[in-house]
């Protein structure tokens, strides 16, 4: 479906995370950790880090009172797009022929806008079936593309599970027909060449997965926010995680605003604002590694249309800090918590060293 004109912004809001059970995260009970700040119990914090690191979810609660943030409302102040790359055993890609007047007869990957009360996966399956005639099973998120919180596209790798290719005799407003394309012959007139890198990304993932299989976790969220797992690996090998101190301690969150007065910035701008608030800038280099997971459950329009992106970043070049201790923080709203549990520490280091994250394209 055609891209919508984006509106974007990202004022920072410190949200709080309740001490709750993780969702879709498989991990054994973890030991307690020590903290650089006085005596914080770390069992819940360990669970949150383990859940997010494993592609699972963790509940997000509303921002503190006094924050003037507009909730996400699908098709009103935000637009989510789903797109699927389906490959067959011959390495051909599933394409659909556009029926819309502005691009009539041209070819594209099956894609379209999410509707209220849909999950991200439900929307992807619906669009694939409407436009190609095939049912499908999602395998993983390949990438997230964004022009700010008002236009976000979720790119999936999926496999066909049933149905029959749509023919010209079945043409409707959704599409004219569908076919498998070998990317060489015949040469298809494309609606846009922006899908070619996505097809290549799918082929590379199929040949050698660049990150664990990652699918959206069904957890409601009222706002569009980014949960940050920022780690610091010191020169002696010690590892720290940045924590927020408001309410129940947990990983910090940055919330993207959707009010007209807050337009103009990309999603990752909220993370950059959080980093500027917490760390000396630009003396402390921070590399945003990529996406660990996505949380969404839009079953209550206007109340749960938001999305939480779980993002990992590391202090220092190549994910390593030259000093033994982490850099000093500029705000009492944050603290460094040393990771004492060896199993969790090893998982974090492995993920950093493998650079295995879902890419975010801004």
Using left for φ > 0, alpha for ψ between -120 and 50, and beta otherwise, residue 55 falls in left
- Among 19-33, 115-129, 182-196, name the one with the lowest average pLDDT: 19-33
Between 282 and 274, residue with greater pLDDT:
274
Window from 42-46, 146-150, 168-172, 316-320 with minimum mean pLDDT = 42-46
| Residue 158, pLDDT score | 98
What does the pLDDT read at residue 70?
81
The pLDDT assigned to 322 comes to 85
Residue 171: its pLDDT value, please? 96
Give the SS3 label for residue 178. Answer: strand
- Give the right CATH number for 43-74+214-361 from 1.10.150, 3.40.720, 3.90.79, 3.30.1490: 3.90.79
Domains 43-74+214-361 and 80-207 share a fold: yes
Q: Give the residue, 29 or 362, on which the prediction is more confident.
A: 362
More confident residue, 237 or 186: 237
Q: How are strands ordered across the β-sheet holding 134-146?
A: 111-113, 80-86, 152-163, 134-146, 360-361
Nearest to 303 by CA among 218, 223, 224: 223
* Beta-bridge mates of residue 220: none
Exposed/middle/buried for residue 332 (C-beta within 10 Å: 0-12, 13-18, 19+): exposed
Reported as a single tens digit per residue, the pLDDT across 300-338 is 888 899 999 999 999 988 778 888 999 999 888 899 999
Cα–Cα distance measured from residue 119 to residue 128, given in angstroms and rounded to the nearest whole number: 14
d(CA 273, CA 80): 24
Kindly report, residue by residue over 12-42, the tens digit of the pLDDT: 333 333 344 455 443 332 333 333 333 344 5
Please, where are the H alpha helices in the chain?
A: 43-53, 120-132, 196-207, 268-278, 342-354
Pick the CATH number of 80-207 from 3.90.79.10, 3.40.50.2300, 3.30.70.100, 1.10.357.140: 3.90.79.10
Could you tell me the residue ranges of all domains in the chain?
A: 43-74+214-361, 80-207
> Residue 175: how many CA atoms within 13 Å on its side-chain side?
27
Helix (H, G, I), strand (E, B) or coil at 199: helix
Those residues with Cβ within 8 angstroms of residue 203's Cβ, 6 or more apart along the chain or in another chain: 87, 91
User: How do strand 334-338 and strand 360-361 relate by DSSP bridges?
Assistant: unpaired
Cα–Cα dist 208/354, whole Å: 13
Name the token pair of 272.
């950059």
If one compares 110 and 275, the residue with the highest pLDDT of the two is 110
* Residue percentage of the chain with pLDDT more than 90: 62
């Amino acid at each position: 479906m055609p891209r919508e004109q984006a509106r974007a912004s990202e004022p920072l809001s410190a949200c709080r995370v309740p001490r709750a059970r993780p969702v879709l995260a498989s991990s054994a009970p973890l030991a307690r950790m020590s903290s650089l700040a006085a005596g914080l119990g770390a069992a819940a914090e360990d669970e949150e880090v383990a859940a997010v690191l494993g592609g699972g979810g963790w509940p997000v609660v509303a921002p503190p009172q006094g924050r003037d943030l507009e909730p996400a409302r699908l098709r009103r102040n935000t637009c989510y797009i789903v797109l699927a790359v389906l490959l067959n055993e011959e390495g051909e890609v599933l394409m659909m022929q556009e029926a819309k007047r502005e691009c009539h007869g041209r070819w594209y990957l099956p894609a379209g806008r999410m509707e209220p009360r849909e999950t991200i996966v439900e929307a992807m399956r619906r669009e694939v079936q409407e436009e190609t005639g095939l049912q499908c099973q999602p395998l993983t998120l390949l990438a997230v593309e964004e022009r700010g919180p008002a236009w976000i596209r979720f790119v999936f790798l999926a496999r066909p599970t049933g149905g029959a290719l749509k023919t010209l005799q079945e043409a409707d407003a959704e599409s004219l027909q569908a076919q498998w394309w070998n990317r060489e012959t015949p040469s298809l007139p494309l609606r846009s060449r922006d899908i070619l890198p996505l097809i290549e990304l799918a082929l590379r993932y199929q040949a050698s997965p660049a990150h664990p299989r990652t699918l959206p976790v069904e957890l409601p969220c009222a706002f569009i926010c980014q949960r940050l797992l920022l780690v610091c690996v010191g020169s002696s090998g010690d590892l720290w995680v940045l924590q927020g101190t408001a309410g129940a301690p947990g990983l910090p969150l940055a919330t993207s605003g959707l009010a007209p007065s807050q337009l103009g910035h990309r999603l990752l701008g909220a993370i950059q604002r959080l980093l500027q608030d917490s760390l000396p800038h630009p003396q402390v280099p921070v590399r945003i590694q990529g996406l660990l997971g996505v949380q969404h459950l839009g079953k209550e329009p206007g109340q749960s249309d938001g999305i939480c992106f779980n993002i990992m970043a590391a202090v220092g070049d190549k994910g390593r800090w030259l000093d033994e201790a982490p850099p000093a923080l500029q705000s009492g709203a944050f603290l460094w918590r040393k990771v004492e549990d060896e199993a969790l520490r090893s998982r974090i280091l492995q993920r950093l060293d493998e650079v295995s994250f879902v890419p975010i394209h801004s």
